[in-house]
Structure 1
Amino acid sequence: MVGLGLLGAPGAAAGAQSESSAVAVTHSEKAPGGLEAWWTPERIRRALAHPADLPDASASVAGGQPRPDGAPQSVLAADAVGPKAGSGEISASAAVSRSQRVKYSSAWPNVVTGKLLYAGGACSAAVIVSNNKNTVWTAGHCVYDRKNKRFRKNFAFLPAYKNGQRPWGLWEYVRAYVPQEYIDSGDVRWSDLGAIVLRRHRTYGNIQDKIGAYGYRFGGGPNYSNVQAAGYPYAGYNRPDRDFAAGEYMMYCRGNTTDASRFNPRDNRLRMACDMGRGASGGPQVIGIASNPQIVGANSHRNVSTSGAYRDLSLYSSEHTTLAKAVINTAGR
C-alpha cells in the first residue's frame, strides 16, 4: 500500500489478544516511566522522520466484503469536555481545502490533537472523551502494521506538539486497540480506526482533566457540515513538501464531508476536500469545532497513483459506525 498509510515498524504480536469478537488489544511491555526513558531525543528524531503513509483508497475498497454491521445505524455520542482550567481559542473560518497551520496549537480545543509516536514512526491522534479519561483516537494503520502482521510498539503521545516543543510533555501508553477486522482484512471502508489508552501522567494526572477531550458522534452517517480535519502532514496534494515543514506544525482543513460512494450501500466512508498527506494519518475529523467538538472520523487514506503521488484533493475517513463504537466502548471504559 502507498499513500498516507501503513508504516513498517516493529510491533508486539505476542502481547495481542482478543478482548471481544470485534476488538484486538496489545499491552505495553514497559513499567511506569520506562517508556519515557526509552524515548530518547534520538529515537524521537527517528520516529518524526518517518511519518505514516495513508493507504491507497483503491487498494482495499474494490472488494465486495459485506459490511460488519446492519442498517439503519443508531448514534453513539458524547459531548466534548474542556480542560478544568485554561482558556480556549478557535476561529470559525470559511472552508479550507488547502491546509493551513493552526495558529494557537496549545489553546482549547486544538491542544487535544498531537503527535502519536511509535517505534520507528509517527502519526497524528487526538484525546477523545472516555470513562478512563486517558484515551486518544487515531487510525488503525497507526496502531497495527498489517505488512508485518503485528501491533506497533512503544506508543507515546505528544499533545499540541509544535516545532520540537512539547508543551504538555510525553504521555506513555498502557494499551492499544484496533478492530479485529482491520487485522484480518485491512478494509479501510470501516476498520481503519483505533484507540490508545495512556498512562496517568506523574505530573499532570489524567489527560482529559488537564487539557480536555473531544467528544464523538459515531453512526451519524457520512454527510457533515463544517468539519475540521487536523494533523501533522509532511506532504500534500499538488503542493511542495516545503510548505509542510517536515510535519513540525499542526495543520487543518475545514469543509463538508460527503458519502465517498453514494451509490454503493457498502461504502459510507467520509470524503472531504483536503490536501494533507502522510503524517496526518490518524488526525481527527471533528464537527462543532467552535462549540461542542465531536470526532466523526479519522484521517485514513487517499487515492494514490502508480508513481506514489496523490491523485486528487480527496481525504477519506473510514465510516465510524459499529466498529468505532466497539473500540471506544472497549478502550474507553
Structure 2
Amino acid sequence: MNRSAFMRAGRRCALAVSAAAVVCAGTLVPAASAQEPAESTARELGVSVSRETSTPEEIRAFWTPERVQKALDNPMTPPTAAAAAPAKASGDAPRKGANEIVASAPAVGPAAGGPGATRAAFGDAATAVANKAAADIAVSQPVPMTSVYPMNLVGKLFIYDEQGKELSTCSAAVINTRTKSTIWTAAHCVHKGDNSGQAGFHKKLMFRPAYNKGQTPWGDWTVTAKYAPVGYTEQGDSLESDFAAAELAPLAPYGKIVDAMGGFGYSFGSADHPEAVTAGYPGEGYKRTDLDAERMMACYGNAEDNANFNPFDNRIKMDCDMGKGSSGGPMAVQSSTSGIQIIGANSHYLADATTNQRINDDLLSSEHGVRAANVIDAVNAGA
C-alpha cells in the first residue's frame, strides 16, 4: 500500500464511530521517514502542528530562575463559557448516541529503576481527595506522593507566549502514544486561540513532571512540537477543541519520557465515568484563597456529560473548584484492564455573561471524541 493509501485508511479509521474504532484508532499512518514530520497527515486530520525552533539547550537556558518565578506568578487563565451553552457549536451535526469509545490505549508503567518506579496506587490520590465532608466534594485537595508513579506523570508546563511577551504556566500529563514522548494538555496552553493559525502557537515550552513547591524531581523536559485541532487554532473553539498534545525531546539519562516514567493511557468517546480524578496546579479557585500554583491538587467524583439533553454538547463536567493554572490537567479514570486512562483535559468553567465571574464549581473539559483521536493520530503519524 502506498503512502496516500495509508493516509486514506488512517483518515477512515480516525473518523470511525463504531466498536471497530477501538482497534484501529491510535495506530495510524506511519511517516514516510524519520525526517518527514507528516504535517500533511495532520492537515487531513484537521490538526495544526508547530515545530519548535529553539533547541532543548536553548529552552532550558531561557528558563532562568527569574523567568520561572514570573511564570509561576502568572498561571494561565482558562477561557470561560456562558452559563447557557449554545445549541450548536462548530457547525457540527449532533453526536449524542451510544457513547462509543472512538480511541483508546492502555497505560504503561515506568521502566524498572526509572523515575517513579516505586509505585503508588491511583486509588491513593482518589481516597485522599474523597476523604472529606460530602458538602466539600468539589474542594480540591493536595495530592499525596506526587513524585512516584502514577501521579508523577502530572506536571507543570511553563509557557512563553506567541508574541514573546508573557510567561505563564499550565498543567499537563504524560500520555501513551507511539512516540513515547507525548504530554496531553489544553489547547489554550499551547496556542493563543485567536484564529491566527500557525502564528498563534506559544514557544519555548518546558514540562516539569511531579513539580512540587519549587522541587523538580524528574528534570526539565523541553517541547519539540505542538499539536492542536484547527477548530481551536483557526476558530478559537474552546467548547469542543480545547485539547492538545506536545512532543518532548529525550532527556539524559532517562531517554524518552514514557520509556522511563510510564504514561497514562486514554479512552476517548464517552462523557460519563464514575470515580474520576482530575489533577493540576491551580493558582486560584472558586471561593478559594489558599491556592498558589505550587502544589498538585486533585478532585474526585463523577465525570458526567455536561448536557444530557443537548445533542450538540458532549463536554465532560466534574465538580471541582480548581481554576487558572489547572488548565490542561488530566481528567482520568482507573480501568481494570487498561490502567489509568485520560478521558479529558481541564479546559474552562461557566461564567456570568455580564460580569464574566465564575458562577459555580463546575470544571469542564472539551468533548474528547473524534477530534481528540485525530490529535493522537497526528502524533502517531510522525513516529
Q: TM-score, normalised by structure 2?
A: 0.77
SS in 1 for 2:170: strand
CA displacement, residues 295-324 of structure 1 (integer Å, 9 cap, x when unaligned): 000000001234443210100000100110
Q: 1:23 aligns with which of 29, 44, 47?
A: 47
Residue 68 of structure 1 and its aligned partner are, at CA, apart by 7.3
8 Å Cα contact 2:285-2:321 kept in structure 1: yes
8 Å Cα contact 2:104-2:267 kept in structure 1: yes
- Hey, what does 2:237 align to over in structure 1? 187
SS in 1 for 2:375: helix
SS in 2 for 1:144: coil
CA displacement, residues 120-171 of structure 1 (integer Å, 9 cap, x when unaligned): 1110000000111110000011111024831111111000000001001100
Number of residue pairs matched by the alignment? 313
Q: 2:72 aligns with which of 35, 40, 48?
A: 48
Q: How does 1:34-183 map to 2 (within 5 A)?
A: 34-58=58-82, 61-62=85-86, 64-65=88-89, 66-67=91-92, 73-85=100-112, 86-90=117-121, 91=124, 92-93=126-127, 94=130, 96-119=137-160, 120-147=167-194, 149=196, 150-183=200-233
Higher gyration radius (CA): 2
Kindly indicate whether residue 318 of structure 2 is the aligned counterpart of residue 277 of structure 1: no
8 Å Cα contact 1:281-1:298 kept in structure 2: yes
Kindly indicate whether residue 279 of structure 2 is the aligned counterpart of residue 255 of structure 1: no
Structure 1 window deviating more from structure 2 (72-81 vs 34-43): it is 72-81
Find the aligned partners of 1:33 and 1:164 in 2 and give their Cα distance: 21
- Runs (5+) with no aligned partner, structure 2: 1-38, 132-136, 161-166
- Hey, what does 1:205 align to over in structure 2? 255
Find the aligned partners of 1:287 and 1:41 in 2 and give their Cα distance: 35
8 Å Cα contact 1:236-1:310 kept in structure 2: no
8 Å Cα contact 2:101-2:267 kept in structure 1: no
The structure in which a higher percent of residues are helix is: 2
- Hey, what does 2:33 align to over in structure 1? none
Structure 1 window deviating more from structure 2 (201-210 vs 285-294): it is 285-294
8 Å Cα contact 2:208-2:220 kept in structure 1: yes
Q: 1:287 aligns with which of 328, 333, 354?
A: 333
Find the aligned partners of 1:42 and 1:126 in 2 and give their Cα distance: 25
Residue 47 of structure 1 and its aligned partner are, at CA, apart by 1.4
SS in 2 for 1:82: coil
Structure 1 window deviating more from structure 2 (300-309 vs 154-163): it is 300-309
SS in 1 for 2:258: helix
Find the aligned partners of 2:94 and 2:229 in 1 and give their Cα distance: 13
SS in 1 for 2:246: strand
Residue 41 of structure 1 and its aligned partner are, at CA, apart by 1.1
SS in 2 for 1:287: strand
SS in 1 for 2:140: strand
Q: Letter of the 2:72 partner, please give it.
A: L
Residue 69 of structure 1 and its aligned partner are, at CA, apart by 8.4
Q: Letter of the 1:218 partner, please give it.
A: F
- Hey, what does 2:281 align to over in structure 1? 232
Residue 206 of structure 1 and its aligned partner are, at CA, apart by 0.8
8 Å Cα contact 2:286-2:361 kept in structure 1: yes
Residue 185 of structure 1 and its aligned partner are, at CA, apart by 2.1
8 Å Cα contact 1:61-1:187 kept in structure 2: no
Find the aligned partners of 2:94 and 2:304 in 1 and give their Cα distance: 20
Evaluate the alpha carbon distance shift between residue 107 and residue 68 of structure 1 in structure 2; reply closer, same or farther with a 3 A threshold. Answer: farther
Q: TM-score, normalised by structure 1?
A: 0.88
Evaluate the alpha carbon distance shift between residue 25 and residue 32 of structure 1 in structure 2; reply closer, same or farther with a 3 A threshold. Answer: same
- Hey, what does 2:361 align to over in structure 1? 313
- Runs (5+) with no aligned partner, structure 1: 1-16
SS in 2 for 1:201: coil
